[in-house]
A and B are shown apart, each in its own frame.
Chain A
């Protein structure tokens, strides 16, 4: 039983985490991002479409559609996110409103397109793209270790990708020139501008990155949770990752911790409920845990919890 807790916990935490990293990029640059939910859904849609299309070319057993789906999910999420960037950066729309609208639009657009594509290309009337089951990897040797061995057992391939991507993103955000400028834009865009930085460009790229990472997360959820793309992908994981990034105080490592807590609470809860022979509906109670924790954190430690100073502020160069 501890095995399933670890395996399920990780496979849920990691996509959540990579999406939170995307959110951190966007918010650290000063753009409020409630649109993660929409980004991950749109990314999963493009990825799943690519996969299903490529099944026809390479066959359902080929690994090419599997990996291609992630590539397309990343691209799709990123491109869709550019719309949010366009509204927030160029049109100077209210970032919260834009985020809500992005979510509504993503949901409407993907449900419409899924049906449309199914009808016109694949000749069925379904509202979902069925994916073939993801393979699992077990690392020999390490997986034999007692207890922690489970970490290396039955891993979804995307989990490894996410770990690598997250590491790179950590380096980018905290160690590179771009990352340093990005964080300056979210704290004091005026001073960034005075230092010769193009605030608009930095923010646009940051939102694009958040879309890409959300796309990766969305595709991962599509494989791990349901092995399909359907409107069910909009289950609020985007909002959960927002909770994680707030819980993690807009920093990558604490956000990872938050995601692990959220993920393991979920898998442990499920295991306990299963073990006690309770109906699965008790899982819903466990799922409130991340949100309750985040809310309590904000109430009691709200003063310590600091969002980027310029978050949500529309930056207009002309204004001083």
Chain B
């Protein structure tokens, strides 16, 4: 509850900051924020183009938020186990890439999900193993792996898997895509994120796993106090590897939902910024799986809604990421307040 209050505080302060910036730019903050809600499909726009409605906007929001939920869950689980998974970005990319490759041979949604899950888990396990076996700091190894994976995949895409028109990778076959893009329903074109229910269920399951099972108990004990965990008879090294494997698997699901769902193709040359945003989203969600769903929702509302705001109010699109970044900055500070009170 305390964490919830602090997160709300961070959001509140950031929105006031954002309003101030908008006001300095000579815009009406109220109108601007309203158009964010309109863009996110939470409020009725004045008019819609053909086959569009508030419902289609909302469904796009859901589509965009699905990978973010998985990614923030990956961060949250790792943090519970005392790991700072800064490698979610690389794990997403690797999982998305492997899923794309698999879909070339077996264009099926189940294959894509399984391959992504396993690919992410493998990278996560590697990081956990390097930590427990060689004592390589997970932050450092994650940064190295992010770059290595990004360059290798970029090379492969440019060399063998490029769509010459879009300069992105080839698109995943429709039969393997987790988002039904432009699905016709009641005269509208709707994007349906098939993975969204799975994301929410995963969050609920993870919440249950962390709080109601002995595995969750072990992960938390090892994360909070490795020496006490050893005293309790836990295998600290093994638990650490399991934690990172699961975290990587969740990041893998995020990667699949992103590259084979929300997007259909992989952009070469970059790691997905979502992997880093997810760290802060998890922080904002108090590292609680259900909090992560809420925080993902909020952050996605801002990023999706601001596209409409920017065109409607003639404001730079980048204001969205700026407001997001401000929320994250304040969230980082609020975590401090929380820890101080805890002492």
What residues make up the interface of A, taking CB atoms closer than 8 Å to B? 32, 34, 87, 91-94, 96-98, 100-101, 103-105, 107-109, 111-112, 115-116, 119, 236, 239-240, 242-243, 246, 279, 281-282, 284-285, 287-288, 291-292, 294-295, 298-299, 302, 307
Contacts and interface: CB of A to CB of B under 8 A. Distances in A.
Contact of A109 (B139, B280, B322): B322
B332 A101 contact: yes
B309 interface: no
Interface residues of B, number: 47
A95 B159 CA distance: 39
Contact of A288 (B147, B318, B333): B147
Given A279-B159, A298-B136, A108 B332 contact: no
Contacts of B159: 279, 281-282
B144 interface: yes
A105 to B, nearest CB: 4
B166 interface: no
Contacts of B147: 236, 239-240, 243, 287-288, 291
Given A100-B276, A291-B144, A284 B332 contact: no
Interface of B: 25, 84, 86, 130, 134-137, 139-141, 143-148, 150-152, 154-155, 158-159, 271, 273, 276-277, 279-280, 283, 316, 318-319, 321-322, 324-326, 328-329, 332-333, 335-336, 339-340
B130 A299 contact: yes
A174 B316 CA distance: 46
A246 B328 contact: no
A93 B155 contact: no
Given A107-B321, A281-B158, A100 B316 contact: no
A107 B336 CA distance: 23
Contacts of B329: 87, 101, 105
22 contacts: A104-B324, A105-B325, A107-B273, A108-B318, A108-B322, A109-B325, A112-B321, A112-B322, A236-B271, A242-B140, A246-B140, A279-B158, A281-B158, A281-B159, A282-B159, A284-B151, A284-B154, A287-B151, A291-B145, A292-B148, A295-B136, A299-B136
A246 B143 CA distance: 12
B279 A97 contact: yes
Main DSSP-derived SS at the A contact region: helix
B141 A298 contact: yes
Contacts of A94: 332, 335-336
A115 B134 contact: no
Nearest to B141: A295
Contact of A281 (B145, B155, B280): B155
B148 A100 contact: no
A272 to B, nearest CB: 15
Nearest to B135: A302
Nearest to B130: A299
Of all A-B residue pairs in the complex, the 3 with the closest CB atoms, nearest first, are A281-B158, A112-B318, A284-B155
A97 B151 contact: no
